[in-house]
C-alpha cells in the first residue's frame, strides 16, 4: 500500500510534465507571438521664419494636406514695396556698369580735343602778349613804358595757360583710354550686391507662405488671422501619416523570436475584424524598464526592448496613441 501511494503521484507528475512540455513545444513551433502597444506617428510644428501679422489661415483641424500646399500666409505688402525698390536700384547699377564698359563716346573724345585746341590757342595768345610787353619795355627809354608788374602778370598768365593745356591733354588721353578696370570691377560688385539684396527679399517673400513639408493631417490650429507670427510661435501642428508604427515592448525571451522585416498583423478594438498588415522595423539594442503606461505595476521594473512594427494603414484607421494588438507568427517570413 505505501508503494502504491508513492508510484501513483510520480506517474501523475511525469504525465503532467510531459503534457506541459508538449504544449510548450507546440506553442513555440506554431502559435503567434501576441504583443500589446500603442500607435505612434511623427509630428511636426510649423512656424513662420519671419515676424509679421498673419493674413490668412487656409486649413482646419482634421484636414488632410499635401506636400507643398500653402497652409497660411503673412502680410507681405511691405516686402513687395522693398522688392520694387531693389529692382529700381538694380536698374541704376546696370546702367552705371554699362556706361563704364562702353567707355568714352566719340563725341566725348571730340569735345576733349576741342578743349585741347582752345587751351593751345590761349597759350599762344599769352606768349604773344608777354613778348609784346617785353619788346615795348626794351625799346622804351629806361623801360618805363611797361612796369615790372605788367610783365609779372603776363608771365603768370602764360604759366596758367600752360597748366590748363597740360590738364586738357591729360583729359583727352583718359577719354581715349576709357574707364579704369578697377572702376568697372567696383561697379560690377555693386550690381551683384543689389541683386543679392533682391534675392534675399524674394526669399523673404516666399517665406510669407507657410507650406506643408509632406503629406499630413492637421492636428492643431494654434493661431488666427491678425495674430503676430514669429519663429518661436507654432502656427499648425501636423501629424505625418506615413510612416505609422505600433510601439511594443518584448522581454529577453521574446526577443529571439522576432527579426527585422518579419510579417505582422495589427488589430484594434474599433476594427477587430479588419487587421492592418505590417512588418517588424526597428528593434532596440538597449534594454529599458517597462514604461508605466504599458504594463502593470508588477512588470514595470522588468527590462524590455522596444520594437516598432511598421504598418500600411491605407484606410487611415489607426490614430495616435490608439491601443493595438500585434500578432507576429513564430514562423513568419521576413520581407
Structure confidence at residue 335 as a pLDDT band (50, 70, 90): very low
Mean pLDDT of 202-215: 95
All cell numbers assigned to 31: 502559435
List the single range of 28-37, 182-191, 311-320 with lowest mean pLDDT.
28-37
CATH number of 46-74+204-229: 2.40.50.100
Mean pLDDT of 282-305: 69
| pLDDT for 16 | 57
Mean pLDDT of 53-69: 94
Residues 27-41+243-329: name the CATH superfamily.
Efflux pump adaptor protein, beta barrel domain (2.40.30.170)
| pLDDT for 333 | 56
| pLDDT for 318 | 85
Candidate ranges 136-145, 199-208, 301-310; pick with highest mean pLDDT? 199-208
Mean pLDDT of 240-258: 86
List the single range of 106-110, 157-161, 261-265 with lowest mean pLDDT.
106-110
What is the tens place of the pLDDT at every residue in 38-58? 998 889 999 999 999 999 999
- What are residue 150's DSSP bridge partners? none
What is the tens place of the pLDDT at every residue in 151-172? 888 889 889 989 998 888 888 7
List the single range of 18-22, 118-122, 154-158 with lowest mean pLDDT.
18-22
Amino acid at each position: 500500500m505505501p508503494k502504491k501511494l508513492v508510484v501513483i503521484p510520480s506517474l501523475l507528475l511525469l504525465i503532467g510534465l510531459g503534457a506541459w512540455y508538449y504544449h510548450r513545444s507546440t506553442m513555440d513551433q506554431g502559435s503567434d507571438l501576441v504583443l500589446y502597444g500603442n500607435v505612434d506617428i511623427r509630428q511636426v510644428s510649423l512656424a513662420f521664419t519671419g515676424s509679421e501679422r498673419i493674413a490668412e489661415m487656409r486649413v482646419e483641424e482634421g484636414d488632410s494636406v499635401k506636400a507643398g500646399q500653402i497652409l497660411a500666409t503673412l502680410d507681405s505688402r511691405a516686402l513687395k514695396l522693398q522688392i520694387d525698390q531693389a529692382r529700381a536700384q538694380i536698374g541704376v547699377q546696370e546702367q552705371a556698369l554699362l556706361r563704364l564698359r562702353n567707355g568714352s563716346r566719340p563725341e566725348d573724345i571730340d569735345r576733349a580735343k576741342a578743349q585741347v585746341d582752345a587751351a593751345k590757342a590761349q597759350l599762344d595768345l599769352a606768349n604773344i602778349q608777354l613778348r609784346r610787353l617785353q619788346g615795348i619795355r626794351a625799346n622804351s627809354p629806361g623801360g618805363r613804358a611797361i612796369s615790372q608788374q605788367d610783365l609779372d602778370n603776363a608771365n603768370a598768365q602764360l604759366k596758367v595757360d600752360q597748366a590748363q593745356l597740360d590738364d586738357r591733354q591729360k583729359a583727352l588721353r583718359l577719354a581715349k583710354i576709357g574707364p579704369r578696370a578697377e572702376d568697372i570691377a567696383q561697379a560690377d560688385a555693386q550690381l551683384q550686391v543689389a541683386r543679392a539684396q533682391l534675392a534675399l527679399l524674394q526669399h523673404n517673400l516666399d517665406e510669407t507662405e507657410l507650406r506643408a513639408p509632406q503629406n499630413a493631417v492637421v492636428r492643431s490650429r494654434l493661431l488666427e488671422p491678425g495674430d503676430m507670427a514669429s519663429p518661436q510661435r507654432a502656427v499648425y501642428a501636423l501629424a505625418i501619416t506615413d510612416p505609422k508604427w505600433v510601439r511594443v515592448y518584448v522581454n529577453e525571451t521574446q526577443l529571439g523570436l522576432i527579426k527585422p522585416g518579419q510579417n505582422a498583423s495589427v488589430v484594434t478594438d474599433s476594427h477587430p475584424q479588419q487587421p492592418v498588415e505590417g512588418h517588424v522595423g526597428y528593434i532596440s539594442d538597449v534594454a529599458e524598464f517597462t514604461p508605466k503606461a504599458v504594463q502593470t505595476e508588477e512588470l514595470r521594473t522588468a527590462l524590455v526592448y522596444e520594437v516598432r512594427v511598421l504598418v500600411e494603414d491605407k484606410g487611415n484607421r489607426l490614430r495616435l496613441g490608439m491601443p493595438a494588438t500585434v500578432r507576429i507568427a513564430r514562423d513568419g517570413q521576413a520581407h
